Chains A and B, each alone.
Chain A
Amino acid sequence: MAKQLGRDQQGITLRGSAEIVAEFFSYGINSILYQRGIYPPETFTRVQKYGLTLLVTTDPELKSYLNNVVEQMREWLYKCIVQRLVVVISSIENSEVLERWQFDIECDKTAKEESAPREKSQKAIQDEIRSVIRQITATVTFLPLLETACAFDLLIYTDKDLAVPEKWEESGPQFIANSEEVRLRSFTTTIHKVNSTVAYKKDSFP
């Protein structure tokens, strides 16, 4: 982190970009889990990040799981082989998919470790990320109430010829039948661009 801040002035490198994006995923997923009430709100604590007060889990198991995922993401982001991260929220009882948070990642594969840093201030990126997180928070205005206990699942889309690491398994896309999709804001580090979308079950309302 400190290292990154130091580089702040020079611009965005591939490693730094991967770091930023991975960090966003960490906070983003935490926010979703809190906002959507997947875990009891008591198990979250507040932290200041991106100029916002964000809630992150205090549950050790969840923490380690998420750290594990984010670590993996960081690596893949660095290699520019990840295409998409999806947070699937499904009912515990009938494992019906209720919500699907999708973060599409566009990697600039020309960016290499040794290539020159890109021109974009960290503040600008943070502002963009902040607006995304804010939107995630604001989605309660239209998302349906999750009436049953829910679990979440993380899907990561990578390039094809990737060996599935340990503790990971291949999975289907877990789409929602008859869904309403709302595109959220996106942000870019100039190397990675993240587009966010949330899909939810459509009401029977015509």
Chain B
Amino acid sequence: MAALCEGFTLCGLGPSGGVGLGAGVLALEPGPDSDHVLLTDRGRTATLFKVSDQKPLGCWSVKHGQIITCPVVCNFETHEYIAVHDDKVLRIWKDEDVNLDKVFKATLSADVYRIHSLPHGEPLVLFRGGGVRTLDVLLEAPQQEIENFISDEVIKWSEAFLEGQEPILIFATEKDGDYFIYVQKFKLNILHKYKLEQQELSNPLSFTAYIKNQIITLLCLYSNGSVYKVLIPLQRHSEEEEQILSKSLLLKLLVSGSVLKGTSFAVLDKDHVAVLGSLTAFGEESKECLTIWNTKFQTLQTSKELPLGTSGQLWCYGEKFFFTHGKVLTVIIYKCETSSLAAAVGKLKDSQTSDVSSFINWNALSDEELVDSLQSQQSVALKSESKMTLRSRRNSVAKVQPDTLTVGQLLLDIKDSSSAAIEDELKQLLSKPQMPDFQATIGCVITALINRCKTDPVFYPRNFLVQLIQKRELSYSLCPDLMAVALEKKDVHLLQICLQWFPDIPEEITYACLKVFLSISDDYLERTDVNLESVICYIDIESNNKEVKTEIVENGFNAELEEDSCDIIFTKETHVKNDGEFCPVGPQKAALLNAVLHSAYSETFLLPHLKDLPAQQAVLFLRYLHYLYVKSSEKITTALPGVLSPTINQIMDWMCLLLDAHFTVMVMLPEAKGLLSSLHKFVRAQVRFYSELNKIEGSLQELQRLKRQKDSQTYSIEVLELI
């Protein structure tokens, strides 16, 4: 349940004191620290507050006659503050600067609408005409010409995100009652324009947006007291000039029969939104209140009356709401917990309830049944949805929506359409909002795809499959044939991510993957796209060229051991080549083998398969394991650096398994001899080292005991300090 805590006052806004001199607040932006906020008023001043202490840390104002037109933001990278006054004059200053007249100044050629500062990126400057520049580009030539895209449309709202490393800016404009959404992808310099579906007798008051899985979710608060949801995929497939964005009703702000007229709102998490607005009950005076709503259950979770009135603005940073209440700026801390039906009826148990659904075996149902059942489900879903949005859709019923493609249709398409067409449809499917049975849908879509792959050797929607697996909604049992097809096609990248994400791969398949990985040549792998994350930190790709031979033995254990060990027979070989020194496989193959090492298995089931591994491959694999073992022993933590790199236990387990499976072969094989002896020596050195550690531990323990004996006198006077 969500809850609002008792609020406190951050500062007064009245003319008598505090900030703003009664003109109101222009905007509130996050400050350089998580506990800081930057308040810009509708006059000349910007103030930095430390919220928990309720005190201002700094205050800057422009000269009389000037006016700040764009909220002050903080550049998180450089800890500088950026402001625009009189529409065109840009100022940049630091904490220690006092007088804004003396700080850096640049006069621009066009009016600035807003500056957006991103946590790990250059601030973006949005101009009134729709042009966008990063700050550093702009500062190179402040007088550069700024294009005007939107002629006489007025920007109502804007927001910036980072998707991956790419900054994305979205803004909404209005012209003659029509609303347009622009999405600017900055790296590619693409600007997409969309038109927002119209709503009778109501217009959007406030917007907010977030980005998830390459989809922008835009929420709009309408004047009729409803919140609508609009999804904008980042990958736009059709090149229409102006696409119309359809919206779906997310929430109706109804409080016991009367409508909450929202003025401003914020998204708290995936299920909660906060709305600031006024509530007019029948026959009563309207009262303003702050409310938190659950969108999943369509319920009002908590509300707080604000009898002194607000300016209609609401900001939300770091679990705190900020709004003006009467003549003060008030802060309220909220708590928002994931809500579930169980919690609502008080039956919540603290156990993980996720991941349950990812193991449905859809093989049990035949294809036709699936199509039927899904179509019926879909229609039910549609019906219920249409009931909810009937009024909003009424005007657009005549038009056939291009994206009301049913899953059943898609399944039929997969059987015979061209791969390009299918991929297009699949993308649409993925960009759709979360369906009620998303997993089931994906399950049968993927089964259909795999069936097509089996019959049609040319068809292989690789990118889509990779994307799907990375969504982490799949498991082996959901699509058992996927890995078989990938094995057949030797699609090592797909296999790698399958091994990484699937929790339930049978040992037989793990073995098959291992065999394929070992058999593919390094030259071939160099041309393929493999995720090298797990090896990049410890395999030096450059020096891995086999021609380069170093005489020095890097490993601390081996160097000593060679002098120390008494067996002379193998010294020749160790001089020629030390197995632990070079990675015996290329980085791509190493990364693939790491994926195998990481997968879950049961020894009993794996061992019989492992016995079938050809001798040469077994030796190669053992060589690689030996290399990993030596590498990981270099550090005292016996761990390899990097993400997803195999742990020492995994390495040892596989080594034991491999030796168990191929014991006789290893004994007989001449080329394994050197490897085994060097492995043996290394292990022996480690055992000796640890036995030395044991001895040290023994002596230290003895010391401890001596210390205790010293304690055992019957009387002493000691000094004790308590702090």
Physical interaction between A and B: no
Question: Chain B interface (Cβ within 8 Å of chain A)?
Answer: none
